[in-house]
Amino acid sequence: MPNLEHIHLDPTLATALLLLGAFLGGKLAQLFRLPSLTGQLIVGAILGPAAFGLVSHELADEKLRPVTDLALMILAFTIGEKLELSVLREGTKRIVAVLLGQALGTMLLVFGGTVAAALLFGTFASPGGAIAMALILSAIAVAGSPGATLVVTKEVDDPGTLGRLVLAIVAANDALAITVFGLCLAVGGAMVGGEVTALELAVYPFLRTLGAIVLGLLGGLAIDLVGGRFGKRSDVLILGLAVIVGCGAAADALGVSPLLAGMAAGFTVVNRERRDTRVFRSLGDFAAPIYVLFFALAGTHVEFGAIVSAGVVGIAYILGRFGGKILGAAAGAPIGGMKAKEGLRAGMCLLPQAGVAVGFLVEMENNEALSDINAVAHPIVLAGIVLAEVIGPAVARKVLVANGSDDE
């Protein structure tokens, strides 16, 4: 495929090209019963350095970086909305059992497979680098795709109890993934960033997580208390965006997770006794083009050469994630009073992966100590996302349809 890197697009023209191309790519993907996100990622890859080279890494990572940061904070905030305690209390035992089962199974299989592959093929100069990479990849693998799962359940006439269970799990899963990733990122960074004591390894991740949560709680309270004083929906949107973006900037400055802070803010708003949820509705309308750009920009990071060079580790990651989701959910189901078969089906509906995992890659890029790890992990995770978004929704839809037939 010809490379047109000698053509330099200014940020405004690049934004227009990405937005239109990703929009059309998403519509084309829907014709093949795939999520629009899949088409958006593919268009980004075509326009990026991996193919035509119209959108360079410099343009995507630096000049259009505000788009990525804004999308990540909105995404994290809306995940917090899904953690409404009154809803999660229904079927808590089943939700927790399958949630923890699939998360633990995924982490164990991904960690074991990727560290073994990296050590066997000498991906890193030291075992510490391989272990740190495997730890971070295992946390990224936990993340799912609430949006894709929601779309699939809506396409099925009657998703039944399995559909409702899966929706509850994916709502809490990304919150769990964000928390676990924050801990693993801190530990992995400490492992490759220099000598640290056991106390620092134990305390720093905890403080980093706690700091992000406190920051998000304060932001959520500000939105809830001040936003209720405004009557116009547009005023609520402006206030919400200002606080959410401010939370992200403060989190970066303090060295804590912006994603966790944004999620905590959304959680705080939705669980207030007298809550004002207009901010979520306003953001839903505003965020659509931001998300389209976000996933197109993510696609520009696809590097086929890097995927080939790290192919064995990538295969271990993808197989470990798929196997961990399915087998882990099946193993956890009996603990929640379900049949293992029901857990197996639930796990098969949890395969899609999207936005939050891309956000994790952005966080890794901001950590200079992880540059070697990021060079290997980045293409692997992006390849895994594309594959999960192609295979996952189709599998989930088939399982939900079959489950509905069994229930009749």
Residue ranges per structural domain of the chain:
85-295+307-407
pLDDT at residue number 263? 85
pLDDT exceeds 80 at position 389:
no
Which is more confident, 407 or 265?
265
pLDDT at residue number 332? 94
Q: What is the pLDDT of residues 35-88, one digit of tens each?
A: 777 788 889 889 988 788 888 878 887 788 888 888 888 888 887 887 778 767
pLDDT at residue number 169? 86
pLDDT at residue number 51? 80
- Yes or no: say if 76 and 262 are a contact pair by the CB < 8 Å rule: yes
pLDDT exceeds 90 at position 4:
no
| Contact residues for 393 (Cβ-Cβ < 8 A; gap 6+) | 33, 34, 35, 148, 149, 151, 152, 352
Nearest-angstrom CA–CA distance, 83 and 335: 22
Q: What is the pLDDT of residues 6-46, one digit of tens each?
A: 566 788 898 999 999 999 998 998 888 777 777 888 898 89
Q: Could you identify the residue written with the tokens 């696609």?
A: 299
- Yes or no: say if 153 and 400 are a contact pair by the CB < 8 Å rule: yes
Residues of the chain with pLDDT > 90, as a percent, come to 25
Average pLDDT, the chain: 83
Confidence of residue 218 (pLDDT cuts 50, 70, 90): very high
pLDDT at residue number 116? 93
Question: Dihedral sign, CA of 150, 156, 158, 163?
Answer: negative
pLDDT exceeds 90 at position 207:
no
Query: Would you state the structure tokens that stand for residue 41, as one six-digit string?
Result: 């990622």
Nearest-angstrom CA–CA distance, 254 and 208: 9
Confidence of residue 141 (pLDDT cuts 50, 70, 90): very high
In this structure, of 9-23, 115-129, 273-287, 310-324, the range with the lowest mean pLDDT score is 273-287
Confidence of residue 245 (pLDDT cuts 50, 70, 90): very high
Query: Would you state the structure tokens that stand for residue 326, as one six-digit string?
Result: 């399915």
Nearest-angstrom CA–CA distance, 354 and 393: 12
Q: What is the pTM of this model?
A: 0.75
Please give the DSSP secondary-structure letter assigned to residue 369.
G
Q: What is the mean pLDDT of residues 124-139?
A: 89
CATH fold of 85-295+307-407: Na+/H+ antiporter like fold (1.20.1530)
Please give the DSSP secondary-structure letter assigned to residue 48.
S
pLDDT at residue number 308? 65
Nearest-angstrom CA–CA distance, 171 and 185: 22
Confidence of residue 335 (pLDDT cuts 50, 70, 90): very high
Residues of the chain with pLDDT > 70, as a percent, come to 88
Nearest-angstrom CA–CA distance, 183 and 187: 6
Query: Which phi and psi (to 5°) does residue 159 adopt?
Result: -70, -15
Q: What is the pLDDT of residues 306-321, one digit of tens each?
A: 556 557 888 999 999 9
pLDDT exceeds 60 at position 172:
yes
Q: What is the mean pLDDT of residues 190-203?
A: 64
- Yes or no: say if 313 and 138 are a contact pair by the CB < 8 Å rule: no
pLDDT at residue number 287? 83
CA distances for 325 relative to 73, 131, 298, 311, angstroms:
26, 21, 24, 21
